[in-house]
Amino acid sequence: MPWTRADLLARLAELGIATTTHDHRAVFTVAESEDVKGAIPGGHSKNLLLKDKKGRVFLVVAESDAAIDLKAISEPIGASGRVTFGKPELLMELLGVTPGSVTPFGIVNDAEGRVTVVLDAPLLDHPILNFHPLENTATTSIGRDDLVRFLTLSGHPPRIVAVSDGRIAPAPDA
């Protein structure tokens, strides 16, 4: 069974990672979340589950307004050839979420380590980041360094790449 919001928040607390969760109406797209974003300070994201021609899977986490060129992203993230969006079945299988709820927190459901997490470097300019806690009826705020620590402790140390221009940026101190 996929992790629940309660499971996730308990794990974050167990790791000593402070978060704040804001309940709101369900939002399925970045465009639908504009009023939610305005009410919650920090960086907001869009999260793309991508698959390359060899079947490798990447979760790209970028600022909600970032322009991402899927034709140019392969090399910077380490994919083989062009990438395509993961189907809803793959989202559920690997991240335990449905479309509209994609989040880096979903990595807790990838016990086999199939997903490579890629954080867009400009997103990390924000000291506080916001993501769905495995469901799109809430947003959880987490410190940037705590996110990196959480991902690393979950067996998915993130690659930090400027997906808009392919530069690899240094990771923040975790």
Contact 135, 101 (CB under 8 A): yes
Alpha-carbon span 84 to 139, nearest angstrom: 26
Record the pTM: 0.89
Domains of the chain, with CATH numbers?
5-161 (3.90.960.10)
Q: Which of 61, 82, 57 is nearest to 161 (CA)?
A: 61
pLDDT digits (tens, 9 = 90+) for 74-131: 999 999 989 999 999 999 999 999 998 999 999 999 999 999 999 999 999 999 999 9
pLDDT exceeds 70 at position 146: yes
pLDDT tops 90 at residue 4: yes
Six token digits for residue 164: 């808009």
Q: What's the rounded Cα separation, in Å, for the pair 131 and 46?
A: 9
Of residues 110, 115, 120, the one with CA closest to residue 45:
120
CB 29 within 8 A of CB 44: no
